[in-house]
Structure 1
Amino acid sequence: MPLYKTLTPNPQTTVKIWKITESYDDLLKPVTLKPENMERVLGMKSELHQRGFLSVRHLLAEFGYQDSDLFYDENGKPHLKDGKHISITHSFTFSGVVVSDCEVGIDIEKQREKIGRIAHKFMDYESQYLDSNDKEYVRKLTVIWCVKESLYKLFATPGLSFLQHTMVIPFMIHDEETVAWIDYDNKKYRYNTTFLEFEGFSCAIALPS
């Protein structure tokens, strides 16, 4: 399947999401990979991961980029050679890329009941407004995780803790947006976050306010 969804959270930012239905061979044929990335793909034990990696290269092409335009810094944060900001995600059968003129983060996660078992590991403040008996509990937890993962990718600072340094302001699922904060090294950073759901997955995009 080609491009699944395109979003523009603001005029300087574009998000593209891919639904991965193609085979590994069909995804590999049209792309040209740097030698180290070809080696990386061949070394992946899971075909799901291989297809996720390759689908991201198709998304890059949708933006007019090639694999060679992408590089990573020492903290594992992706960058584009033209100086635009980029963030990348993939989860099971979906992948996403966001390109912006400003710092940005994106995450896609599958909504699963088991997230409730690890909620205490990634949220503190948020537990004050969440109700485990709420029928939307798992969906809200997944949004919070996606927002925090997006912040983590955007901030790209070793030692940043979901539990200790990030906070997501109360929201309703139908809001499709909320505000989040990073409180790190005696400084506070405010972010606008957009979120959406599709086919049992959640996606969040974080941008500086």
Structure 2
Amino acid sequence: MPIVRQWTVFEECLLLIWEIFEPIEELQEGLVATAEEWAEYETISHPQKRLEWITGRRAMQSIVEASGRIYTGMQKDNFGKPFLNNAVAEISLTHTARFVVVALHPSVSLGVDLERVAPKLARVAPKFLSDSETTHAGEQLERLCTYWCAKEALYKLHGTRNLSFKEEIFVHPFTDENDFFTGEIFPIHTPLPRQQHRLYRFRVDDFLGVLAV
């Protein structure tokens, strides 16, 4: 069964983890997609990218239908933020070579990210962590991954480009035991107000993910 887990967070937000292992031919069966979506699919040449494209939409169709809504396809706006064709809910998705994670909320913008807990995060940490975040994370890979995924999720939630992970997206101190924490977006180059958001951390195998709502 490709669905690893499906559950509810923050009362109204659905999360679903889908493992990528089925043949493309099986994934195509029953997939709802517009002519424009299939045209986009045909422009993808790399087999793995094609598999991720198909799997992401199958997972999204599954979570939308599980919520009792009708799925009519999915597109992305000019900033790359996904949205449902019939706008029946807010959505987000992320994928690795092994898993797709999709999230749905009836009315509130959200973002989700998933990454493997790996040493490479320590090398790039100075590019995305503030001084206080650097102190808190230290050299603990799981904390570094939590910060990265949280900031990615907040960036996706915000839905525009040119936000600095280090200077405009902040994650409040969290504990290793509590998977619920908070963060904020503080745009310094636009008149938008500071935005506080809830964060939720989850795990699947050696991957760590964060949902932002």
| Both structures adopt the same fold (TM-score exceeding 0.5) | yes
Structure 2, unmatched stretches of 5+, are none
**Residue in 2 that maps onto 1:194:** 200
> Which AA in structure 2 matches 1:97?
V
Equivalences for residues 63-82 of structure 1 within 5 A: 63-64=64-65, 65-66=70-71, 68-80=72-84, 81-82=86-87
Matches of 2:160 and 2:43, distance apart in 1: 28
Q: CA deviation at 1:149?
A: 0.6
> Which AA in structure 1 matches 2:173?
P
TM-score between both structures, scaled by the size of structure 1:
0.88
**Residue in 1 that maps onto 2:185:** 182
Residues 32/8 of structure 1: CA separation in 2 closer, same or farther (3 Å cut): closer
**Residue in 2 that maps onto 1:105:** 111
Matches of 2:2 and 2:97, distance apart in 1: 16
Matches of 1:76 and 1:115, distance apart in 2: 24
Q: Residues 108 and 204 of structure 1 are in contact (CA less than 8 Å); yes or no, is this contact kept in structure 2?
A: yes
RMSD: 1.7
**Residue in 2 that maps onto 1:121:** 127
Q: CA deviation at 1:60?
A: 2.2
**Residue in 2 that maps onto 1:43:** 43
**Structure whose residues are more often strand by fraction:** 1
Equivalences for residues 104-183 of structure 1 within 5 A: 104-124=110-130, 125-132=132-139, 137-183=140-186
Matches of 2:83 and 2:41, distance apart in 1: 19
Equivalences for residues 12-91 of structure 1 within 5 A: 12-62=12-62, 63-64=64-65, 65-66=70-71, 68-80=72-84, 81-91=86-96
Matches of 2:205 and 2:135, distance apart in 1: 28
What do the CA deviations read for 1:5-50 (whole angstroms, capped 9, x no partner)? 1121122211111011112222223324323322333332332222
**Residue in 2 that maps onto 1:6:** 6
Q: Residues 56 and 93 of structure 2 are in contact (CA less than 8 Å); yes or no, is this contact kept in structure 1?
A: yes
Q: CA deviation at 1:171?
A: 1.6
Range 196-205 or range 46-55, more displaced: 46-55
**Structure 2 residue 211 is matched with structure 1 residue 205:** yes
TM-score between both structures, scaled by the size of structure 2:
0.87
Structure 1, unmatched stretches of 5+, are none
**Runs of 4+, deviation exceeding 3 Å:** none
Q: CA deviation at 1:83?
A: 3.8
Q: CA deviation at 1:75?
A: 1.8
> Which AA in structure 1 matches 2:210?
A
**Residue in 1 that maps onto 2:97:** 92
Give the % identical residues: 24
Aligned residues: 202
Matches of 1:145 and 1:206, distance apart in 2: 12
Q: What SS does the corresponding residue of 1:173 show, helix, strand or coil?
A: coil
Q: Residues 24 and 47 of structure 1 are in contact (CA less than 8 Å); yes or no, is this contact kept in structure 2?
A: no
